[in-house]
Protein backbone atom coordinates (compact mmCIF):
# COMPACT_ATOMS: atom_id res chain seq x y z
CA UNK A 1 0.00 0.00 0.00
CA UNK A 2 2.78 2.44 0.80
CA UNK A 3 4.14 2.07 -2.73
CA UNK A 4 0.94 3.32 -4.41
CA UNK A 5 1.23 6.97 -3.24
CA UNK A 6 4.88 6.97 -4.32
CA UNK A 7 3.84 5.56 -7.69
CA UNK A 8 1.26 8.33 -8.18
CA UNK A 9 3.70 11.02 -7.09
CA UNK A 10 6.24 9.64 -9.54
CA UNK A 11 3.64 9.53 -12.31
CA UNK A 12 2.62 13.14 -11.62
CA UNK A 13 6.32 14.08 -11.64
CA UNK A 14 6.50 12.76 -15.20
CA UNK A 15 3.21 14.25 -16.38
CA UNK A 16 3.41 17.80 -14.97
CA UNK A 17 6.31 18.91 -17.20
CA UNK A 18 4.36 17.67 -20.23
CA UNK A 19 1.30 19.81 -19.49
CA UNK A 20 1.25 22.80 -21.81
CA UNK A 21 2.52 25.93 -20.13
CA UNK A 22 1.46 29.38 -21.29
CA UNK A 23 3.75 30.63 -24.02
CA UNK A 24 5.97 33.61 -23.46
CA UNK A 25 4.69 36.81 -24.95
CA UNK A 26 5.92 40.35 -24.87
CA UNK A 27 4.43 42.73 -22.36
CA UNK A 28 7.02 45.52 -22.66
CA UNK A 29 8.61 47.45 -25.46
CA UNK A 30 12.06 48.85 -24.67
CA UNK A 31 13.18 51.87 -26.66
CA UNK A 32 16.97 51.60 -26.81
CA UNK A 33 18.86 54.85 -27.25
CA UNK A 34 22.59 54.33 -26.82
CA UNK A 35 23.11 52.95 -23.32
CA UNK A 36 19.59 53.92 -22.19
CA UNK A 37 16.47 51.72 -22.10
CA UNK A 38 13.05 53.33 -21.91
CA UNK A 39 10.26 50.81 -21.17
CA UNK A 40 6.66 51.08 -22.33
CA UNK A 41 4.01 48.48 -21.65
CA UNK A 42 2.19 47.07 -24.62
CA UNK A 43 -0.99 47.54 -22.56
CA UNK A 44 -0.47 51.32 -22.75
CA UNK A 45 -0.11 51.13 -26.53
CA UNK A 46 -3.22 48.98 -26.76
CA UNK A 47 -5.23 51.46 -24.67
CA UNK A 48 -4.10 54.25 -26.96
CA UNK A 49 -4.96 52.20 -30.06
CA UNK A 50 -8.42 51.18 -28.85
CA UNK A 51 -9.54 54.25 -26.90
CA UNK A 52 -7.26 57.06 -28.04
CA UNK A 53 -6.46 57.62 -24.38
CA UNK A 54 -2.89 58.47 -23.45
CA UNK A 55 -1.99 56.73 -20.21
CA UNK A 56 0.39 58.28 -17.69
CA UNK A 57 3.04 55.79 -18.83
CA UNK A 58 2.57 56.65 -22.52
CA UNK A 59 2.42 60.43 -21.94
CA UNK A 60 6.20 60.90 -22.07
CA UNK A 61 6.43 59.14 -25.44
CA UNK A 62 3.36 60.87 -26.84
CA UNK A 63 4.84 64.26 -25.93
CA UNK A 64 7.72 63.57 -28.32
CA UNK A 65 5.41 63.55 -31.36
CA UNK A 66 3.15 66.05 -33.05
CA UNK A 67 -0.58 65.38 -33.33
CA UNK A 68 -0.40 64.17 -36.94
CA UNK A 69 2.25 61.58 -36.03
CA UNK A 70 0.21 60.37 -33.04
CA UNK A 71 -2.88 59.99 -35.22
CA UNK A 72 -0.78 58.02 -37.73
CA UNK A 73 0.56 55.81 -34.95
CA UNK A 74 -2.94 55.10 -33.68
CA UNK A 75 -4.12 54.28 -37.20
CA UNK A 76 -1.14 51.93 -37.68
CA UNK A 77 -1.84 50.18 -34.37
CA UNK A 78 -5.54 49.79 -35.22
CA UNK A 79 -5.09 48.59 -38.81
CA UNK A 80 -6.37 45.05 -39.24
CA UNK A 81 -4.81 42.56 -41.61
CA UNK A 82 -6.44 39.37 -42.85
CA UNK A 83 -4.39 36.70 -44.53
CA UNK A 84 -4.39 32.95 -44.41
CA UNK A 85 -1.80 31.97 -41.79
CA UNK A 86 -0.34 29.09 -43.81
CA UNK A 87 0.03 31.17 -46.97
CA UNK A 88 1.49 34.02 -44.93
CA UNK A 89 4.00 31.64 -43.37
CA UNK A 90 5.08 30.51 -46.84
CA UNK A 91 5.36 34.13 -48.01
CA UNK A 92 7.54 35.06 -45.03
CA UNK A 93 9.93 32.25 -45.95
CA UNK A 94 10.69 33.64 -49.43
CA UNK A 95 14.17 35.16 -49.90
CA UNK A 96 12.77 38.67 -50.43
CA UNK A 97 10.68 38.58 -47.25
CA UNK A 98 13.50 36.99 -45.26
CA UNK A 99 15.76 39.88 -46.29
CA UNK A 100 13.09 42.38 -45.23
CA UNK A 101 12.56 40.62 -41.89
CA UNK A 102 16.33 40.51 -41.26
CA UNK A 103 16.44 44.27 -41.86
CA UNK A 104 13.52 44.74 -39.47
CA UNK A 105 15.31 42.43 -37.04
CA UNK A 106 18.07 45.01 -36.71
CA UNK A 107 15.48 47.42 -35.28
CA UNK A 108 13.15 45.04 -33.40
CA UNK A 109 14.97 42.36 -31.44
CA UNK A 110 14.74 40.01 -28.51
CA UNK A 111 17.78 41.62 -26.84
CA UNK A 112 19.86 44.70 -27.60
CA UNK A 113 22.49 43.99 -30.27
CA UNK A 114 20.80 40.83 -31.55
CA UNK A 115 18.76 40.38 -34.71
CA UNK A 116 15.07 39.74 -34.11
CA UNK A 117 14.48 38.00 -37.45
CA UNK A 118 13.14 34.72 -36.06
CA UNK A 119 11.12 36.38 -33.32
CA UNK A 120 9.47 38.78 -35.80
CA UNK A 121 8.70 36.02 -38.28
CA UNK A 122 7.31 33.79 -35.53
CA UNK A 123 5.18 36.60 -34.10
CA UNK A 124 3.77 37.51 -37.52
CA UNK A 125 2.92 33.90 -38.33
CA UNK A 126 1.42 33.29 -34.89
CA UNK A 127 -0.70 36.46 -35.10
CA UNK A 128 -1.95 35.41 -38.55
CA UNK A 129 -2.72 31.86 -37.43
CA UNK A 130 -4.58 33.04 -34.32
CA UNK A 131 -6.42 35.98 -35.87
CA UNK A 132 -10.07 36.53 -35.16
CA UNK A 133 -12.61 37.08 -37.93
CA UNK A 134 -11.63 40.76 -38.17
CA UNK A 135 -7.92 39.99 -38.66
CA UNK A 136 -4.80 40.85 -36.66
CA UNK A 137 -3.10 44.09 -35.67
CA UNK A 138 0.40 45.28 -34.77
CA UNK A 139 -0.58 44.88 -31.11
CA UNK A 140 -1.40 41.22 -31.80
CA UNK A 141 2.06 40.76 -33.33
CA UNK A 142 3.66 42.31 -30.25
CA UNK A 143 1.60 40.02 -28.03
CA UNK A 144 2.86 37.01 -30.01
CA UNK A 145 6.51 38.05 -29.78
CA UNK A 146 8.19 34.99 -28.20
CA UNK A 147 10.01 36.87 -25.44
CA UNK A 148 8.89 38.94 -22.46
CA UNK A 149 10.01 42.15 -24.12
CA UNK A 150 10.85 43.69 -27.48
CA UNK A 151 13.91 45.89 -27.89
CA UNK A 152 13.60 48.72 -30.39
CA UNK A 153 16.80 50.42 -31.58
CA UNK A 154 15.58 54.03 -31.87
CA UNK A 155 18.78 55.38 -33.43
CA UNK A 156 18.74 52.84 -36.24
CA UNK A 157 14.98 53.28 -36.77
CA UNK A 158 15.45 57.06 -37.02
CA UNK A 159 18.29 56.66 -39.55
CA UNK A 160 16.24 54.30 -41.71
CA UNK A 161 13.17 56.53 -41.61
CA UNK A 162 15.27 59.56 -42.51
CA UNK A 163 16.96 57.73 -45.40
CA UNK A 164 13.69 56.31 -46.74
CA UNK A 165 11.92 59.70 -46.63
CA UNK A 166 8.80 58.35 -44.91
Residues 78-133 have pLDDT tens digits of: 999 999 999 999 999 999 999 999 999 999 998 877 899 999 999 999 999 999 89
Contact 76, 65 (CB under 8 A): no
Who's near 160: CB < 8 A, 6+ residues apart? 107
Identify the band that residue 158 occupies on the pLDDT scale cut at 50, 70 and 90. confident
- Interatomic CA distance for residues 135 and 137, integer angstroms: 7
State whether residue 110 is helix, strand or coil. Answer: coil
* C-alpha gyration radius of the chain: 20
> 19 pLDDT exceeds 50?
no
Q: What is the DSSP letter of 16?
A: G
Mean pLDDT of 11-26: 49
| Region for residue 135 given its phi and psi (left: phi exceeds 0; alpha: psi -120 to 50; beta: otherwise) | left
Amino acid sequence: MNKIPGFWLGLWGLIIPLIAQPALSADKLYFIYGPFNFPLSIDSLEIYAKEGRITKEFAFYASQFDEKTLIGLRHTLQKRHTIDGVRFSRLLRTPLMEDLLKSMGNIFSTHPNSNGFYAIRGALISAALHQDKEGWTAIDVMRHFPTESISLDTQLATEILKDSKF
